[in-house]
Chain A
Amino acid sequence: MTASQEDATTSTAIRGAALGALGWLRWTWRQLTSMRTALILLFLLALASVPGSMLPQEGIDPAAVTQYYQSHPALAPILNRLSLFNVFAAPWFAAIYILLFASLAGCVLPRTVRLVGSARQRPPRAPSNLARLPSSASYTTELTPASAIESAAALLRRRRFRLHTGDGWVSAEKGYLRELGNLLFHIALLVLLFSVGLGGVFGYKANRLLIVGQGFANTPTALDVFRPGRLVGPGNLQPFSINLQNFHAQYVTSGPELDQPLSYNAGLSYQTQPGAPVRHYALRVNHPLVVDGVSVYLIGHGYAPVVRVTDGTGTVRWDGPVPFIPVDQSTMTSEGVVKVPDARPAQLGFAGVFLPSAVDAAGTLESAFPSALNPRLSLIGFSGNLGMNSGEAQSVYQLDTKGLHQLRMAARPLAAGQSMTLPNGLGTVTYLGYQQWISLAITYDPGQMPALISGFAALAGLILSFLVRRRRVFVRAVPAADGRATVTFGGLARSDAAGGFESEFAELAQLLRAEQAGTSGAAPEALAEPDRDSGEAETAGADVDPHEVALTGPDGE
């Protein structure tokens, strides 16, 4: 006895230790998949997206990130190390949503399995004492217990209850649609999770700045920013090409809404693949061009002054539009740089400000309106080493002034066609006019449509599961005196959702009585008494539509 007890203790201890490791795992899993954890993760996800909307993001606006670096030289590198300029691709952000996915999937999958079981389940046996149920009624009938149960079952079946019959009882349940709604919600949620993942794996995002008159193809070397999904290679990009034929921006010219944009319209021509017919599309904000399942959105625009730089040898080294970045949306005052790394005798660089509608404001020029009503370009010249030949990649919007010195020259705003001679025989720079550019966001997300559909399906399932309630009714019949049967009828609603079961129960009870006791059932105890004839007559007409009975019931009173 003692020995075996000891044995038991030891084995329990050992098993306890083994269970400890397993139990620990199980505990972790249970914590992860608990509602509380999911809610905390959801909250964290929302919280983690906040810096994404407060700080400029690489994926959305790389130029703004560059600007941030300039204005916060000490802080920016720290923020960058914390991935705060690319929040949605940050490891800590991924950690949160992967945990959330795991938590939701771990929570939803077992529930789905249980729901399938629950939706297929037969109603349980009728409890022995139906009077204890929240709603109950009883009456006596002329029928034998077996035929009373049979007729009750027939009635309930007509009312589309799911039945389970036994000796002297019938259980019926209705409202499985609730479980179906639940199931739909859970499956849709899983599909939604899967779709979001699908987009992350097979989708991509890209940006491209395009000057009027220029074109590009959807290939990595032609994209400014390219963020492929995990399984997207350069060969997976849909091979379309787009040309920008024209661009028109309209602004409010008077009133309190002055300077506000009215409309943007970019005239595109495109081909779905090389050799395909050329098509046209008027690209507007929120009206993306969809090519081959890829959406191309208009997300920005600006001016590109056309500049010609002739070096000290008299050779033209740059002649073309240079995209400038708007620093003020209401006036479209824009800044940009021109780099001429192959100018001789020295490399040249220019930092410029473009004013689309230049006006004299107390001695300084500034732009008064976003349209190009009076465009001016002012440039500051630099010469020396642009730092490009070392091979270190640099932004095309910034001059690395480390190896450069500023040229002494009067900063005179140039009108179209005007030139500026550089000192020391370094050459001349001419402002020829301007072009406009647009920036495009190219997104391919194969999970977007499934996500949308499953989102709606989840909502529909949720509504269904809220509106439909599951309820059970039970009928038991026991033999009573003089061959009659006592029928007890009980029911309960299985969910705390919206009431209304009492009236349904009352109606069912009335129908049953009416059918089996053979009268309208206004006063069942009294009416159950009378002669057998009427009772038999009712039994004969047992296949009368219950709704009709319900309708005729009150008339009989």
Chain B
Amino acid sequence: MSRLPGRFHAALGAAVAVLAGMAAAGCAGGDIGANSPGSSGQSFVSHSYESTFYQVGHRPAVPAVAGSTISGRRLSLASYRGDTIVLNFWGSWCAPCRAEAPALGQLARNMASRGVRFVGIDIRDQPDSAQAFMQTFNVGYPSLNDPGDEIALEFHSTVPPAAIPTTLIIDRSGGIAVRIFGASSFSQLQALISKVIGQRA
């Protein structure tokens, strides 16, 4: 039976206006000129080290990744079936990728005899700088070129890379066993790879 004073309505009306404004603020708009552009080009979604281990039986299947490498050859992950694969999303412009590159290069050499294959996926890069990177860090394994993010998108429904670098360890039967966001150290990565190799998958 309470009578609602007009003041209450006026105030709630104002609240509606503000909230509607907040909701509508989602539509950027405005004048493009006045809106000083920018956005930080290849500033990437940075991430501190974080690893997730998927237990056997709960491993998402790796999508059928294929494409051309930085050096121009065809490469399909399917041809590595039966091996353990370390998949590393990187870019030559990405400082954390540069920091972890020596460890990755060394591990690829050390663990090749244990059936571990390394494959890079080069993101938002440019062929000359990508090649220069591989030369600098003596990276012996191939990298797929992914200029339009098609490969990254293939992981959309499984374990999408959410940071650069992102490293995935794929077990012998093609299940994604480990996801790492951020730069990993030699020992961190070695321990995780060994754990995956040691399991029956």
Contact = CB atoms under 8 A, between A and B. Distances in A.
Interface of A: 35, 38-39, 42, 45-46, 60-64, 66, 100, 104, 108, 111, 114, 118, 121, 182, 185, 188-189, 192-193, 195-196, 199, 203, 205, 207-209, 214-226, 233-235, 237, 239, 241, 243, 260-261, 264, 274, 285-286, 288, 295, 297-302, 315-320, 323, 325-326, 329, 339-343, 387-397, 439, 441, 443, 445, 447-448, 451-452, 455, 458-459, 462, 465-466, 494-496
B27 A443 contact: yes
Contacts of B99: 389-391
A104 B29 CA distance: 29
Contacts of B6: 496
Given A274-B150, A341-B133, 19 more contacts: A185-B12, A192-B20, A217-B149, A218-B153, A222-B149, A223-B45, A224-B39, A237-B160, A241-B149, A300-B36, A301-B32, A301-B37, A315-B132, A388-B95, A397-B41, A439-B37, A448-B24, A451-B24, A462-B9
A317 B128 contact: yes
Given A315-B132, A317-B132, A388-B98, A63 B23 contact: no
A299 B19 contact: no
Contacts of B43: 62, 224-225, 393, 395-396
A446 to B, nearest CB: 10
B135 A221 contact: no
B35 interface: yes
B96 A300 contact: no
Interface residues of B, number: 77
B19 A196 contact: yes
Contacts of B92: 341-342
What secondary structure prevails in chain A residues at the interface with B? Answer: mixed
B30 to A, nearest CB: 7
A203 B16 CA distance: 20
A260 B33 contact: yes
* Centre residue among A42, A207, A315, A391 by max chain B CB count within 10 A: A391
A199 B27 CA distance: 12
Contacts of B177: none
Contact of A239 (B7, B148, B156, B162): B156
Given A192-B16, A274-B153, A316-B128, A466 B9 contact: yes
Interface of B: 1-4, 6-9, 11-16, 18-20, 22-24, 26-46, 89, 92-96, 98-100, 123-124, 126-129, 132-133, 135-136, 147-150, 152-154, 156-158, 160-164, 166, 183
A261 B7 contact: no
Contact of B37 (A302, A391, A395): A302
B182 to A, nearest CB: 9
Nearest to A242: B148
Contact of A448 (B26, B96, B98, B166): B26
A459 B100 CA distance: 57
B38 A443 contact: no
Nearest to A211: B41
A221 B24 contact: no
Nearest to A228: B162
Contacts of B135: 342
A195 B23 contact: yes
A45 B153 contact: no
Given A215-B147, A394-B95, A494-B3, A220 B163 contact: yes
Contacts of B27: 288, 295, 297, 443, 448
18 contacts: A62-B43, A63-B39, A209-B39, A216-B148, A219-B153, A224-B39, A297-B29, A300-B38, A341-B136, A389-B95, A393-B46, A395-B43, A439-B37, A439-B39, A451-B19, A455-B19, A459-B16, A496-B6
Contacts of B126: 318-320
B31 A207 contact: no
Contact of B23 (A66, A260, A455): A455
A190 to B, nearest CB: 11
A176 to B, nearest CB: 13
B95 A391 contact: yes
A160 to B, nearest CB: 22
Contacts of A320: 126, 128-129
Contacts of A302: 37
